[in-house]
Chains A and B, each alone.
Chain A
Amino acid sequence: MEKAKISGYQLFVLIFLFEMGSALLVPLAGEAKQGAWLVILIATIGGILLFFVYYGLFRYYPNQILTEFIRSILGNFFGKIVAFLYILYFMYLAARVLRDFGETLLTFAYPHVPLFFANAAFMLVVIYTVRKGVEVLARTGELFFVLENVLFMTFILLIIVSGMIHMNNLKPVLEINAVEMGKMAFTKTIFFPFGELIVFLMIFPYLNEPQRLKKIAIAGLATSGIFLSFTMAMNIAVLGVDLTLRSQYPLLTLIQSIEVAGFLERLDVYFLLKLMIGGFIKITVFTYVAVMGTANVFNVKQSSRLAYPVGIVILLVSIVIASSYSEHIHEGLGAVPMFIHLPFQVIIPLLLLIIAFFKNRKKTSKHQRHNTDLKGGVDK
């Protein structure tokens, strides 16, 4: 663990940007058609429920990062294996997000640039940030947060002014029935992006005011959920269901259709800007977490020196993942939620929480007191 502290506001910003990262890009919950925004809201609530599982784990071990307290719960041997699997999970997700952004960049702006080149350029910046540590990451997030929101507000304003919103496009909300909606929210949308909050179990211990964690995280989740839901609703209201679903990047299509006062048009560059901000924060958080986890599991003292090897592995994997964008997306929608997200985001944390519960009950109230003492104080 680093000797670092981040403020509550910084954590909120990180969670917000992280959740918005790549979810803005794709037609999130697109299969729900007109009801997509509703599915996202339901999934947000699910994500908050899921957060309570993570929060429970955090309450038991407020001074330990995920890979550390897994070992406290499962013992050194099994703990190390599960912690290692989590590192792989984080790296795999980092590679997926990196691929997402590389592909978008190539599809939209630089068709002749080799994917490896684009990804490598991105990854080198990420590696640099990861070496600098979580405090720098948090401050970068703060800076970007303002920019991202200014952009977002500008878009909304322009879209409203240009009179492209047709509320009729959003009707009927229940194009698919409520049961299916719930099913979609809890089998797909909850995992991506809300359940990915689990990476923050590696960052929560850095918070300088742990007693406010619950409020901050819920606020972050809820705000990003509302923003995502709003964006998707706007996509459909402007583009209609068909076009939204046929677009690889509905938000880009939306921005491309802005035309105000004869000169405010072709604002695609801002899409790229927004894209880069979100992608950068998301990949950096994943990479950072993977580096810290690796350092922790393999007992490496200078964790920053792991940034480069881990970064390069992520870069290579981002290329190996798929041969085409279709394959990449197909995997992301078809196999990843059920086979990867479900165990790592729900099943393992739940099991850990149950074991931790019994373990800590056995140790009587003495341990409890110890924990509450630490919670108010400063760790290390």
Chain B
Amino acid sequence: MEMNHKKLVLLLMLIGTTFTTGCWDKTELNEMSIVSAVGIDKNKDGKLVGTFQIINPVNVAGSLQGGGGTNPPISIYRATGDNVLQLDSIASAKISRDMYFAHANLVVIGEDVAKDIGINSILDAFERSPEFRATTRLVIARGVKAKDLVETLTAIDKVSAEKVIKTIESTEKQQGGSISINLQEVIKNLVSSGKEPLISGFTVRGDTGKENKMENTQSSSIAANPNAVGIGVFKDGKLIDWLDGKQAVGTMWVLDRIVNTNVTIDWGGKKGAVTYQVLRQKTNIKPRMKNGKPKMYITVRAEGDIREVNVPLDLASPHELIDIEKELAKNLKKEMEEAIAIAQNNKSDVFGFGELIHESHPEYWKKHEKDWDDVTFPKLETEVKVETFIRRSGLRNKPFLSDIKKGDQ
């Protein structure tokens, strides 16, 4: 009896193990095609056009080893439909394998889609799908179709999705001119009534038309190269404006997303005479009520090094540095105030001031939540305070310009 009981348990365990493998949902590697990027455009009839970038594993590896490289590392499939899932199923008809989205880390949205249809109706399918990652990056194809960006062949990072993501990340880190934002963050901002999303723009520059041919990468200067350009401003899910250059950087300062950036000031009547590299910064925003109205106090502290000096200037003197620090702070302050003014003009609270007021003054927020973007935010008072600290000035104290005698110049 005792023996039988044990045998039965053993048998049940053996049967049980066959179910633990989960073979029901199995997908073999040679039965799926890995999607690396998805592009969404709009055609003339208002239908969505999807472009799927699929990795060609053999060619990616081959070109890395230097042996292959004659065949493109990616293949492109297109589909037209009314919504995102339809695109998926239509595209599947053209591909011999299942499309596998777990490695898709880039979604490119065409400028016209973002402007006319808005991103609200697109993102649900991505968010709902278990295969899609919440950390998938979003970019807007600016001035080109999303398909142009997805199709482009690139040189160093073979898969253009990788190239786009890395470029945006490094642009954000080194200049602050782009914003690397993922699906989850965008949706969070769309839902919040106190914050609007910002999405980076990307374009293809150069000899367009050949970007999907291998010869695009077979020259030392890439004929058509994807470029990060500006940041798109959204309101109610629709693209309304682009921030470029200083406007974008100013916005990133307010958002506390600056890591490194260069600040250039004029000195002694010379334009762009001194360049300061920000190495670390912290932006603090505090709303305070004043006469029943909120006012945003924005405090920025930045530290960094002097990296370039093109005028005779004695950097060994701390008194001189104080003057430069003040000038830098003035410059940054102006940049940020302009960014805020643009956002208020656009009636789009990209900084999340509304959320901050919601957190600290919930009663005020309840009264003004509905007309926040259109009435309250554009009239919101702000005060920007900037402090910059110069820590070092590289390997030289004075620039060699100060040693050049007057007669030589």
Q: What is A's interface to B at a CB cutoff of 8 Å?
A: 103, 106-108, 111-112, 114-115, 242, 246-249, 252-253, 322-327, 329-330
What residue of chain B has the Cβ atom nearest to residue A107's Cβ? Answer: B392
Taking a contact as CB atoms closer than 8 A, the residue among B316, B389, B395, B400 that contacts A249 in the complex is B395
Q: Is B144 close to A, CB under 8 A?
A: no
Known contacts A111-B305, A329-B316; decide if A247 and B395 are in contact (CB<8 Å). Answer: yes
| Chain B residues closer than 8 Å to A324, beta-carbon distance | 318, 321, 389-392
Q: How far is the CB of A368 from chain B (nearest CB, A)?
A: 52
Residues of A close to B399: CB separation below 8 A: 246
Q: How far is the CA of A103 from the CA of B393 in the complex (A)?
A: 10
Query: For the complex, is B47 an interface residue (Cβ under 8 Å from A)?
Result: no
Are A246 and B397 touching (Cβ within 8 A)? yes
Q: Which of B279, B318, B392, B403 contacts A242 (CB 8 A)?
A: B403
Tell me whether A323 and B403 are in contact in the complex, defined as CB-CB below 8 angstroms, given that A246-B396, A330-B318 are known contacts: no
Contact A114 B321 (CB under 8 A): no
B395 touching A108 by the CB < 8 A rule?
A: yes
Q: Which residues of B contact A325 (CB under 8 A)?
A: 391-393
Minimum distance in angstroms from A25 CB to a CB of chain B: 12
Complex: how many Å from CA A108 to CA B397? 14
Chain B residue at minimum C-beta to C-beta distance from A113: B279
Chain A binding surface SS class: helix
> Cβ of A326 and Cβ of B321 under 8 Å apart?
yes
**Cβ contacts under 8 Å, A106 to chain B:** 391-392
Number of A-B contacts (CB under 8 A): 61
User: Is B315 on the interface with A (CB-CB < 8 A)?
Assistant: yes
> What are the 10 tightest A-B residue pairs by CB atom distance, in nearest-first order?
A327-B318, A325-B392, A246-B396, A242-B403, A326-B318, A107-B392, A246-B398, A330-B318, A324-B390, A324-B391
Q: Are B395 and A326 in contact (CB under 8 A)?
A: no
Q: Which residues of B contact A326 (CB under 8 A)?
A: 315-318, 321, 390, 393, 397
Q: List 9 A-B contacts (CB under 8 A).
A: A107-B395, A246-B396, A246-B398, A246-B400, A248-B396, A249-B395, A324-B318, A324-B392, A326-B318
Contact of B280 with A by CB under 8 A? yes
Which residues between 200 and 222 of chain B lie within 8 Å of chain A, taking CB atoms? none
Tell which of B315, B395, B397, B403 touches A252, judged by Cβ atoms closer than 8 Å.
B395
With the chains together, A188 CA to B306 CA distance in Å?
29
Q: Which residues of B does A touch, CB under 8 Å?
A: 260, 279-280, 305, 315-318, 321, 389-400, 403
**Docked-complex contact B395 and A248, CB < 8 angstroms:** yes
Chain A residues with CB under 8 Å of B393's CB are 248, 325-326
Nearest A residue to B259 by beta-carbon distance? A112
User: How far does the Cβ of A275 sit from chain B's closest Cβ, in whole Å?
Assistant: 14
Kindly state the separation between the CA atoms of A107 and B305 in the bound complex, as whole angstroms: 9
> Closest residue to A27 on the B side, CB-wise?
B397
Starting from the known contacts A106-B392, A108-B395, A246-B399, 12 additional A-B residue pairs (CB-CB under 8 Å) come to A111-B392, A112-B279, A114-B280, A247-B395, A323-B318, A323-B389, A324-B318, A324-B390, A325-B392, A326-B317, A326-B321, A326-B393
Most chain B C-beta atoms within 10 Å of own C-beta, residue among A112, A249, A252, A324: A324
B391 touches A115 (CB 8 A): yes
Chain A residues near B321 (CB, 8 Å)? 324, 326-327
Chain B residue with Cβ nearest A242: B403
How many angstroms between the C-alpha atoms of A111 and B396 in the bound complex? 15
- Least CB distance from A244 to B in Å reads 11
Q: Is the CB of A248 within 8 A of B397?
A: yes
Write the chain B residue with the least CB distance to A250.
B395
Q: Report B-chain residues with C-beta under 8 Å of the C-beta of A249.
A: 395
Within 8 Å CB of A107, what residues of B? Answer: 305, 392, 394-395
- Residues of A with C-beta under 8 A to B394: 107, 248
Q: Which of A114, A115, A253, A330 contacts B316 (CB 8 A)?
A: A330
**In the complex, what's the smallest C-beta–C-beta distance from A109 to chain B, in angstroms?**
11
